[in-house]
Amino acid sequence: MLFKKEIKESLCVPQESITISHRYKKYNRYEGYGQEDDDDEELSVFSKNNTYECIIIMTNLTSKRKRLNLIYQVPNGSIPVKGTNHFNSEKISFNAY
């Protein structure tokens, strides 16, 4: 038996009950990810031969528990690190605020 997951384009209706933001950090091999110096600096340009981390922050704004399926993808031409796949999905549960 073979199971296949597919992503299909569909109409997206934004939900006001969940906020999602993301941020990119440059990797420093001596200090690790997310050095304190770069916290105020927004990364807008990516350069070759550097390693970056994407931090995703999701918040449930409702008084009810939420369950979501988070889907993420490493950009084409990039190499995933730290055991990350090029494409992955995770089931996530959020408690109420």
**pTM to 2 decimals?**
0.59
Check whether 3 has a pLDDT greater than 80: no
Mean pLDDT (the chain, rounded): 78
Q: What tens digit of pLDDT does each residue of 40-80 get?
A: 466 777 788 888 888 888 888 888 998 888 888 888 778 88
Exposure pattern of 46-64 as b/e (b: 16+ CB <10 Å)?
Answer: eeeeeeeeeeeeeebeeee
% of the chain exceeding 70 in pLDDT: 80
Task: Label residue 10 by pLDDT band (50, 70, 90).
Answer: confident
Q: Alpha-carbon Rg of the chain, whole angstroms?
A: 16
